[in-house]
Amino acid sequence: MLLAVDVGNTDVSFGIFDGDRLVTRFHFSVKAPRTSDEYGVLISSIINQKGLRIDSIDSAIVSSVVPKIMYSFRKGLIRYIGCDPIMVGAGVKTGLKIETINPRETGPDRIVDAVAAYELYGGPVIVIDYGTATTYDYVTEDGVFTGGVICPGMKISAKALWDDTANLPEIEIMATDKIISKETVGAMQAGLFYGNVGQSKYIINRMKQEAGVNNVRVVATGGLGKIVSENTKEIEVYDADLTLKGLQIIYEKQKR
């Protein structure tokens, strides 16, 4: 079985695949620094709690946007899982042609999402990931990754509100029925939610205009993407496991 790992700025997400079937998933925070032994024990104990044997995992692939933890993290996988993972980056086959000015600067998470969206839903496609940052990327019909847009994510925007203002409280991010609120918490929630809905609609339509195409699939992922996609007709598909599926697809390409 394959262990697919997406190391993000806030969480590490794991998926275990048997062939192309996602057997289970789990995640934990990356905010606390950990040693290789701590990473290894944590990962292996969760796998055991999921009812799976460590020795059933024979390969691993990792996409990471947090270089500072990767030495300890990779050592933990090698010692406790028994796999030296494929690291998504330069030299790894993706099936896409990357036409950014400096492909090495393009985040591996964006490439993984683009691979999954293109392979699973076809092109041309706009893929959106509502993570710590919200990213919008465009892949042409013949599989060319042309670039995209990076915006502050909803959690970053929310944190800025309560960290940088004296009287605004920490709130839960959620969809609201109305945009005009009579109290502060509701006003903040409406601002974050409808601000991102409006942002998504504008950027999707502007990307279509610049690309010169109308018939474009729009696929979203990321923890907060569900509430936006449910309220944005421009988004056709929400796939919570898109990044993990992309890692599995890229792994299979290396085997071939």
Domains parsed from the chain with CATH numbers: 2-87 (3.30.420.40), 97-248 (3.30.420.40)
Angle ∠(86,50,85) on CA atoms, nearest 5: 5
User: Closest by alpha carbon to 18, among 52, 64, 62, 63?
Assistant: 52
Query: What's the pLDDT band for 223 if we cut at 50, 70, 90?
Result: confident
First-to-last C-alpha distance (Å) of the chain: 17
- pLDDT score for 11: 92
Question: β-pairing, 217-221 with 125-130?
Answer: parallel
pLDDT one-digit tens code per residue, 28-74: 988 778 999 999 999 999 999 999 999 999 999 999 999 999 999 99
- Looking at residue 11, its amino acid is D
Which among 11, 55, 109, 129 is annotated as catalytic?
109
144-152: strand order across its sheet: 97-98, 144-152, 133-139, 125-130, 217-221, 237-238
3-class DSSP state of 213: coil
Q: In the numeric block, which tokens belong to residue 176?
A: 């609201």
pLDDT in tens, 161-208: 888 888 899 989 999 999 999 999 999 999 999 999 999 999 999 999
> Which pLDDT does position 90 carry in this prediction?
83
Structure tokens at 155: 């959690």
pLDDT of residue 7: 96
Please, which residues have CB within 8 angstroms of residue 91's CB and are 6 or more apart in sequence? none
Q: What is the pLDDT of residue 211?
A: 95
* pLDDT at residue 166, rounded to an integer: 85
Provide the Cα torsion 4, 6, 7, 11; round to 10°. Answer: -110
Residue 22 DSSP class? E
109 is catalytic: yes
Round to whole Å and give the CA distance between 212 and 215. Answer: 10
Distance CA 230, CA 236 (A): 9
